[in-house]
Amino acid sequence: MLNAVDNPALTQRKRYYERIAAYNLTPLWEVLHALVPPSPATPIVPAIWHYAEIRDALMESGTLITAHEAVRRVLILENPAVRGQSRITQSLYAGLQLILPGEVAPAHRHAQSALRMVLDGEGAYTAVDGERTVMRRGDFIITPSNTWHDHGNPGTEPVVWLDGLDIPLVQFLDAGFAESSDTDVQAESRPQGDALARYGHNMLPMDFTQTSADPTRVFVYPYTQTKAALLGIARSAPDPHFGHKLRYVNPATGASPMPTIGAFAQWLPSGFETVPYRSTDGTVFSCLEGSGTVEVGGKSLAFNENDVFVVPSWHTYRLQASSDTTLFSFSDRPVQQVLGLWREQKLPKPS
Ligand code: 1HN
């Protein structure tokens, strides 16, 4: 192919581009194909964080800064292809948060929605808009947009959880607000278990209505209930692409618990292998129980308990369980769905 040096037409174009640059103009025809790729061309790469490898470093952070000084003592899980951007997918942030016995992570609120998946240790609590919940391993806890939240650890062990937030999405939209509370620890205005009793038992308060954009008032989905549901559906045949998989919902509407983040739990019996699947929502997985491998992007990543891995948008993946395995996952699926952008493809079983 001729380059600009020996092609007068290209030289002429290049000079033209330089002239119009002064007016902050640039030709679409040079970037059209990159702007509108035939299928998602994500910079995000598949990656895994092995908890056994990073636990010591996380615990060491507890000797360097208090939860109070840090506000939130978290190690961010950065996608290796976009280091420095505090994101694990294009739209989502993930981190591992540590709270030591006796510590408090002070109350604040922000437009960004957050989820927690409790991984290690017992005895901490999270409070959301005046109600506390004890954090137990495998519990899925949410702090919807603009809800006041603080964490504390009155127990005797360090407690670690996975945080998932829609930070990059809110950043992209330039729609973020945040404020700190005057009091580090929220006053308890409702007894523990109140929200779950009112909204989480297939019943609702008499005059309560919500739209599908409202987050659920249920802010804790206890692992005991999740596991019972998964084992309940596991009495029937597994889905070839998902195994035994359920999505967390706002029980008042059937929509996702929060409008910007969808969350899922799945159980794969030992030896089960999923059939190739892809979807446009880049997804973060964490292994709650068991072990296995994920095949994605030409790599085979072995995972164990508490490991976190990411499957980028439109990357075909297969899961294989080497023991009975429970996986938690989250993505921006509800955003894509409400915008009419979400796609999935259930591929055939390889021969
Ligand atoms: C936040 O509020 C929490 O409340 C965790 O635990 C991580 C990352 C960025 C901004 C706010 C929390 C966060 C965060």
Average pLDDT by stretches of 10, the chain with 351 residues:
75 97 98 97 98 98 97 98 98 98 98 98 97 98 98 98 98 98 96 98 96 94 98 98 98 97 98 98 98 97 98 98 98 98 97 84
Cβ burial, residue 152 (10 Å; 0-12/13-18/19+): buried
- For residue 235, report the distance from its CA to the centre of ligand 1, in Å: 38
CATH code of the domain covering residue 177: 2.60.120.10
Do 6 and 82 lie in one domain? The reply is: no
Per-residue pLDDT at 212? 87
Q: Are residues 125 and 6 in the same domain?
A: no
> Both 269 and 234 in a single domain?
yes
Ligand 1 is surrounded, with C-beta below 6 A, by 72, 74, 95, 97, 110, 114, 149, 151, 163, 165, 167
Residue 206 placed within a domain? yes
Eight-class DSSP state of 85? S
Give me the number of domains the chain comprises: 2
* Per-residue pLDDT tens over the stretch 239-265: 999 999 999 999 999 999 999 999 999
Which two tokens mark 280?
A: 């446009």
C-alpha 114 – ligand 1 centre gap (Å): 7
Which pair of tokens denotes residue 221? 């989905």
One domain for residues 100 and 121: yes
Look at residue 41 and tell me if it is in a domain.
no
> Would 351 be classed as within a structural domain?
no
Residues 17, 62 within the same domain: no
Question: Is 72 in the same domain as 155?
Answer: yes
Output the pLDDT for position 3. 65
Indicate the top mutation candidate among 72, 104, 112, 146 to test ligand 1's pocket, ranked by most ligand atoms within 8 A of CB: 72
Please tell me the predicted confidence (pLDDT) of residue 215: 94
Q: Whose CA is nearest to atom 3 of ligand 1?
A: 72
Domain-located, residue 291? yes
Residue 84 pLDDT: 98
Helix or strand holding residue 279 (H, E) = strand 277-279
| DSSP structure class, residue 276 | P
At residue 53, the pLDDT reads 98
Are 174 and 321 contained in the same domain?
A: yes
Q: Per the domain annotation, does 42 fall within a domain?
A: no
Same domain, yes or no: 9 and 65:
no
Rounded distance from Cα 72 to ligand 1 centre (Å): 6
Q: What is the predicted pLDDT for the residue at 6?
A: 78
Structural domain for 137, as ranges = 47-346
Same domain for 144 and 3: no
Residue 248 lies in a domain: yes
Q: For residue 154, what are the contacts with CB-CB under 8 A and spacing of at least 6?
A: 101, 102, 123, 124, 125
Asked, for residue 213, whether it belongs to a domain, the answer is yes
Length of the chain: 351
Q: Which residue among 74, 92, 117 is best mutated to probe the pocket of ligand 1, counting the most ligand atoms within 8 A of its Cβ?
A: 74
Report how far residue 324's alpha carbon sits from residue 311's, in angstroms, rounded to the nearest whole number.
21
Q: How far apart are CA 311 and CA 299, in angstroms?
A: 11
Residues 106 and 221 in one domain: yes
Statement to judge: residues 129 and 162 lie in one domain: yes
Same-domain status, 31 and 64:
no
